[in-house]
Chains A and B, each alone.
Chain A
Amino acid sequence: MITIVNYGMGNLGSILNMLKKIGVAAQITSDPAVIAQATRLVLPGVGAFDAGMENLERTQLIPLLNERVLEHRVPMLGICLGMHLMTRGSTEGNRPGLGWLPAQTVRFATTEPGMKIPHMGWNRVQGTRSSPLIDDLPEEPRFYFVHSYYVHCDDSRDVLLATAYGSSFTSAFQRDNLFGVQFHPEKSHKFGMALLRNFATQVQ
């Protein structure tokens, strides 16, 4: 069972649709009692960093999420803004992030003429190490991205996937039970299905 945290940001329906398609049981909730029992969590999100933190604070779920993720080590997958919120903070906003891992969210620098921001569309990913989240993805994996900010990990060993846009940036990280993906697996055809299936069945 995958538990998707509902804090009023982003496309929860799409994630549920894809999980249903691949036969993974899932629920969308903001109920603390349900989150306290969750065995796999997804923190979705689309939108601005401060708005995301404000909404999350309003749910009053942060202390519970801290406990579930940092103490009980429940696998957590942050998607897009959800990934950003897991870091210390973002140059997009003023609020501190959840700070679950040593990483910072920063804005793309335009390094080439004609380079458009947001980075929007399908791009390839390059694995930097093995992980149950990304093992056995279909060949030449590519994912759908739409973002102007990305996560910079202090510890390069946390980087799982890298993607080239201007320069290379972190498109997925893993630090213990904490996973983050910059792209939208729920909108990435068979590649996203494989990744979400991995999160549901392979990640311990």
Chain B
Amino acid sequence: MLRTRVIPCLLLRGEGLVKTTRFANPVYVGDPINAIRIFNDKEVDELALLDITASREGRGPALQIIRDFASECFMPVAYGGGIRTLDDARQVLAVGIEKIIVNTQALRRPELVAEIAREFGAQAVVVSIDVQKKLLGGYEVMAAGGTQKTGLKPAEHARRMVELGAGEILLNSIERDGTQAGYDLTLIRAVADAVPVPVIACGGAGTLQHFRDAVTEGHASAVAAGSMFVFHGRHRAVLISYPSRSELERALP
């Protein structure tokens, strides 16, 4: 039996880790290498590292930081941020990362997804989709860190990405990001039911029950969380944590 993967999602900004709320107001939460050592001790299932300023600054991946990070990771790691070309992906995979996360560039030049999948296999390509709830109902895919509208519907975009070779979909709800108020289950289910590959729910996790809901009601294959693993208590003091194995086994299918 495969237990649902529980994935800390870490946001890189410059050389430090931050946590955002609704994709804004980044708060510094620590040094990436220190964080990874703690997550190693806690034997986390997998990690996602997202450089949130690379695309906005129009630059590629910060290879030295990624290399240092990957050399300490004894679990699978997915990296996203500034992957514009097959060569960017190649370089990031070569330093010890397992999966490439593409977001903005998959919207600008979808063939990139096919190119990476052809060379490294579908399991190495995660397409990240940032979704905004529309005022009059429905959902829209956003580009460039939630700053640009695309007019695309999440399920349709996800299906197209899977056709091109995406092995997983990382689905982010912009309005739930950093709120710890629970996942947007309607959104997750719409996408998870539309594609045959695993969907990772992201945005809004605050409790183990939220994880469970994402799987049982949202049909997610894996769950990701940021705030829940880096903040502690009402005042959001920075403290890196991860549920114990027995807690996860009790909470998750």
Contacts and interface: CB of A to CB of B under 8 A. Distances in A.
Contacts of A114: 219
Contact residues of A: prevailing secondary structure: mixed
Contact of A116 (B3, B72, B221): B221
Given A121-B222, A122-B3, A165-B2, A21 B45 contact: no
Nearest to B219: A114
A46 B124 contact: yes
A85 B196 CA distance: 27
A131 interface: no
A62 to B, nearest CB: 22
Contacts, number: 91
Question: What is the interface residue range for chain B against chain A?
Answer: 35 or more
Contacts of B119: 47
B188 interface: no
A14 B70 contact: yes
Given A14-B70, A189-B43, A121 B95 contact: no
Contacts of B221: 116, 120-121
Question: What is the interface residue range for chain A against chain B?
Answer: 20 to 34
Contacts of B2: 119-123, 165
Interface of A: 11, 13-14, 17-18, 21, 46-48, 114, 116-124, 144, 146-148, 164-165, 184, 186-190, 192-193
Interface of B: 1-5, 40, 43, 45-46, 70-76, 93-96, 98, 119-124, 167-168, 196-198, 219, 221-222
B74 A21 contact: yes
B167 to A, nearest CB: 7
B94 A13 contact: yes
